[in-house]
Structure 1
Amino acid sequence: MTTGTGQVKPADVWREADDAKKFLDQAAIVLASVKRELDDMLRVTTGSHVLDVGCGTGADVRAIARRVGPGGRVVGIDSSEQLIAQATPAGPGAAEVEFLHGEAGSLPFAADTFDAARAERVIEHVPDPAAAVAEMLRVVKPGGQVLITDPDHGLWAPDLTDRDLTRRIMTWWGEHVPNAWVARQLRRLLIEAGAVDVTVKLLPVALTSLAAADALTWVGKAAAAAAAQGIAEETRALGWGEEIQRRDAQGTFLMLGTFVVVSGTKK
């Protein structure tokens, strides 16, 4: 896919590289500790009704269904029909689950339906983040929780020699995500939507292999794309990419990042 100028955007490079289910599965492994923190922060009990926005193939829906038990209900919604088609039930002893195709900015539920709504690595991709956050708050009951987490794509920090080039490429490459800085905006968006008792927690991640970094950012493809688009002189950009590969092969690769977790309550 190209822009009107014939240039390939970072977003298009990233999409072309990605097989959706493989990407989600690898990211889930990398983010296991982040997911445990989210589980601890999600205020649900036996019998709760929960919405997972951007559920993918439903791994989190099934985990929550087992947590709330047969008396509960868990609904997953995703904009990808391909991923929804791969979702499966939670199994015996779990809550009833339902998977729907739909958009975060226009949730097909009445107000005050759920005890809690969550979204993980979703708001960074939606066309209208404010609408998605407001919709999540609308569909939870008074006293219900909205729990959202996204990485801040302006804070990825790889350990590489050329600082100036690293800043330049990482800033450009971060724009492969439609809402690259939305994580730092989530608190404001929840408050503006009407949530109270809004809290913020930062979860650091340390990625020690290129495979782990690619699962979240596809940084391994950034050098060639930057060279092709003239973001940096070709030899210098490709040398930057070669350093990434070399550090990974040596076992010295490191890229730091930050996930922002925001929780709010409906009045």
Structure 2
Amino acid sequence: MTGLQYDKAATEQLEAIYKTPDVAGQRARTIALLAPEPGEAILDIGSGPGFLCTEIAEKVGATGKVRGIDISPVMVRRSTERNPERWISFAVGDATKLEEADASYDAVVSIQVAEYVPDIAKFCREALRVLKPGGRALIMATDWDAIAWYSRDPGRMQRVMSAFAPHCADSALPRTLGKRLKETGFTVGRVTPYPIFNTAWNDDSYSCRVINFIASYVRRQKTVPEAELDAWAAEQVELGKSGDYYFLSTRVFFEAVKPQ
């Protein structure tokens, strides 16, 4: 079995990660790049817990429209419950088969989702299809293969991260995403990296929160012995205490436009 499954426990883990200052900063950068305007219709593909949709909705206002699509019914239900405003809606959907009308959105945003989609060409085509001519897309993906995470046992770190790699369809997607978008028909503009960098142990940091998320996934796969997985997680706590903690994850924003 590969890929993430968002039951209640996994959903709560993910929401805790999305609430960290690191990811809140990423959302702020997303809003700055997307630049939502009052009255715009914006689609979030893979809206997860809906936090980004909430912030976009504040920008487009009641004359606008924000729609969040996610494959997880648990995510959609929780997002709907916390966003009662009439101009925000959420639905269960497949990123490669969107149930949205052609040319119906001013902008499409998708953050840390494309790398989980097995057919990236269909993902790109659907994003292009639902955009109005001249509409813009902001797609961000993580290069999971490029994470720099210090361990005194690099072999064990490699085994854990290799066991985690199947959680997404393409763990190095940013390296080819620009080409994929262009092949679909997008005009690709700025491509900018966004780092999440932690050099101290902080219970509310992205990397500290993601340890449990990774461990839970790998534990379910049974591809790393329990004792080794526990030792991997415990070492990170010890590195934090000794002042040797280091984590760097690079995500990449792709800004693209649908030609007129």
Q: What TM-score comes out, normalization by structure 1 length?
A: 0.81
For residues 151-162 of structure 1, what are the structure 2 equivalents within 5 Å? 151-162=142-153
Alpha carbons of structure 1 residues 156 and 15: separation in structure 2 relative to 1, 3 Å: farther
Rounded to whole Å, the distance in 2 between the matches of 1:73 and 1:90 is 13
Alpha carbons of structure 1 residues 203 and 142: separation in structure 2 relative to 1, 3 Å: same
Identify the structure with bigger relative contact order (alpha carbons < 8 Å, sequence gap 6+): 2
- CA deviation string 1:190-240 (max 9, x = no partner): 111110133211011113437532534647639x85xx6469xx9877655
For residues 52-201 of structure 1, what are the structure 2 equivalents within 5 Å? 52-86=44-78, 87-88=80-81, 90=83, 96-201=87-192
Q: Secondary structure at the match of 1:262?
A: strand
Matched, 1:38 2:46: no
- Over the matched positions of the two proteins, sequence identity in percent amounts to 25
| 8 Å Cα contact 2:160-2:224 kept in structure 1 | no
Shift of 1:25: 3.4
Shift of 1:150: 1.8
Q: Secondary structure at the match of 2:36?
A: coil
Select which of 215, 224, 230 maps to 1:221: 215
Residue type matched to 2:181 in 1?
L
Q: Secondary structure at the match of 1:82?
A: helix
Residue type matched to 2:157 in 1?
T
| 8 Å Cα contact 1:65-1:90 kept in structure 2 | no
Q: Which of the pair has more CA radius of gyration?
A: 1
Shift of 1:74: 0.8
> Aligned-residue CA RMSD in angstroms?
3.2
Rounded to whole Å, the distance in 1 between the matches of 2:36 and 2:137 is 11
Residue type matched to 2:187 in 1?
V
Residue type matched to 1:213 in 2?
S
For 1:6, the equivalent position in structure 2 comes to none
Residue type matched to 1:183 in 2?
P
Rounded to whole Å, the distance in 2 between the matches of 1:17 and 1:91 is 21
Q: Secondary structure at the match of 2:114?
A: coil
Alpha carbons of structure 1 residues 129 and 170: separation in structure 2 relative to 1, 3 Å: same
For residues 18-29 of structure 1, what are the structure 2 equivalents within 5 Å? 18-29=9-20
Shift of 1:45: 1.0
Rounded to whole Å, the distance in 2 between the matches of 1:47 and 1:202 is 29
Which segments of 5 or more consecutive residues in structure 2 lack a partner in the other structure?
none
